[in-house]
Amino acid sequence: MGCASFEGIVQTLPPLTAPLKKQQLVLAELEKLKVGGTGGLGDRQIVMEALLSPGVPATTPTLVSADRQMINGLAKAAKDAHGADIEIDISRLGRYKNVAEYFHHEHGSRAFTVEIEGHTLRIFPIQKIRGDLK
């Protein structure tokens, strides 16, 4: 098992077996989405490892995060339950305070999925959700 630590976050993952070229493609896509912001290489590395690490067959790995820049970047690539792109403009969430609140009220779950370079990852944002938005 490998261990990565970024700003107090420690994760234990099996060693990455994905080819370097695949890792670079995923990191480039995450950078285009601005995952982690301009200085978010550590955030992009965490997401890349979660996407490419070997996991349990026939399951979708889940990444849990409270990092707003990571969540906002990934939300731009969000898919609905049927795999269709969700058009979300992070700068125009309207009455919603954050991505988790938007997904909770508009799609029935705070979690969303992304597909990057053929790999799917479920994102579970740890953000406050107000229930009084009827």
Domain boundaries, the chain: 19-125
Q: Distance (Å, rounded) from C-alpha 100 to C-alpha 26?
A: 24
Integer angstrom CA distances of residue 108 from 6, 100, 101, 114:
31, 10, 10, 17
Q: How confident is the model at residue 87 (pLDDT cuts 50, 70, 90)?
A: confident
Grade residue 1 by pLDDT with cuts at 50, 70 and 90.
very low
pLDDT at 9: 56
Only one residue has tokens 């290489």, namely: 41
Residue 6 has pLDDT above 80, yes or no: no
Whole-number Å distance between alpha carbons of 39 and 119? 24
Q: DSSP letter at 59?
A: -
3-state secondary structure of 113: strand
Lowest mean pLDDT, pick from 43-52, 60-69, 80-89: 80-89
Mean pLDDT of 101-117: 92
What is the arithmetic mean of pLDDT over 23-34?
A: 95
Q: Which residue has the higher pLDDT, 22 or 132?
A: 22
pLDDT reported for residue 132: 78
Question: How many other C-beta atoms lie within 10 A of the C-beta of residue 100?
Answer: 23
| Region 71-84 average pLDDT | 89
Grade residue 11 by pLDDT with cuts at 50, 70 and 90. low
